[in-house]
């Protein structure tokens, strides 16, 4: 597994490792193709990379390991401030950092590489507010791996310094189904306008 891709990311003109944004994106595609990461996770990471790195010059895009992700995010926020919520920006930063860390780990240790998110679910150590389904199962271990059925994905929603996960969302969800889910969540909200 590792050696084939390691050769692939070598720059053919020079005997140096290609650590460009383009190769990072190709690496993520490779992880999805080989089943190392869910395609939906790869897609989410690529969106974050494309958004944040849209402010980079061609020169800056040549080496992802030299980038200061916080500084890039600040530049992105300065350019797109009103169109991107702070919580969304935090999610982008997290996804970009995870992608770069996985890429670096793979390049350094291809034979023992394991992605920071498994292909079957997400392991998290951040506080997670449980859904009604999870509470019914009486699971209290926040470090427990969350597994989804094939054809579904989870949505991480950062609020109040914690991460709330909505699990089991169908990959082919319709707009009507999305509205129904939103209505159920809204019904649980407590209004401060009393």
113 lies in the same domain as 132 = no
| Whole-number pLDDT of residue 129 | 43
Q: Cβ–Cβ contacts within 10 Å for residue 179, how many?
A: 10
pLDDT digits (tens, 9 = 90+) for 178-188: 888 888 888 87
Question: Do 103 and 193 lie in a common domain?
Answer: no
At 57-97, the pLDDT tens digits run 999 999 999 999 999 999 999 998 788 888 889 999 999 99
Domain that includes residue 18, residue range: 1-119
Residue that the structure tokens 């790869």 belong to: 42
Confidence of residue 48 (pLDDT cuts 50, 70, 90): very high
Instruction: Between 113 and 13, name the one with better pLDDT.
Output: 113
Tell me: do 111 and 154 sit in the same domain.
no
CA-based nearest residue to 19, from 62, 60, 50: 62
Note whether 137 and 154 are same-domain residues.
yes
DSSP state of 122: E
Of 191 and 110, the one with more pLDDT: 110
Number of domains within the chain: 2
Last residue of a domain, one of 63, 95, 119: 119
Within this chain, do residues 110 and 139 fall inside the same structural domain, yes or no?
Answer: no
Q: Are residues 185 and 113 in the same domain?
A: no
Residue 46 clears pLDDT 80, i.e. is over it? yes
In this structure, the answer to whether residues 132 and 101 fall within a common structural domain is no
The model's pTM:
0.56
Same domain, 60 and 125: no
Are 128 and 34 found together in one domain? no
65: its two tokens: 């390991």
């Amino acid at each position: 597994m590792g050696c084939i891709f390691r050769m692939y990311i070598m720059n053919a003109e020079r005997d140096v490792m290609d650590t460009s944004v383009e190769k990072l994106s190709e690496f993520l595609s490779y992880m999805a193709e080989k089943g190392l990461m869910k395609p939906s996770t790869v897609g989410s990471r690529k969106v974050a990379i494309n958004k944040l790195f849209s402010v980079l010059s061609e020169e800056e895009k040549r080496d992802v390991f030299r980038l200061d992700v916080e500084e890039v995010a600040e530049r992105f926020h300065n350019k797109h401030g009103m169109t991107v919520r702070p919580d969304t920006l935090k999610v982008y930063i997290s996804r970009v950092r995870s992608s770069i860390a996985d890429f670096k780990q793979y390049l350094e240790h291809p034979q023992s590489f394991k992605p920071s998110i498994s292909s079957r679910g997400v392991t998290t150590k951040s506080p997670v507010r449980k859904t009604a389904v999870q509470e019914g199962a009486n699971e209290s271990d926040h470090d427990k791996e969350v597994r989804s059925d094939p054809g579904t994905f989870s949505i991480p929603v950062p609020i109040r310094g914690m991460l709330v996960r909505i699990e089991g969302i169908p990959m082919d969800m319709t707009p009507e189904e999305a509205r129904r889910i939103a209505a159920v969540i809204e019904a649980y909200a407590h209004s401060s306008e009393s």
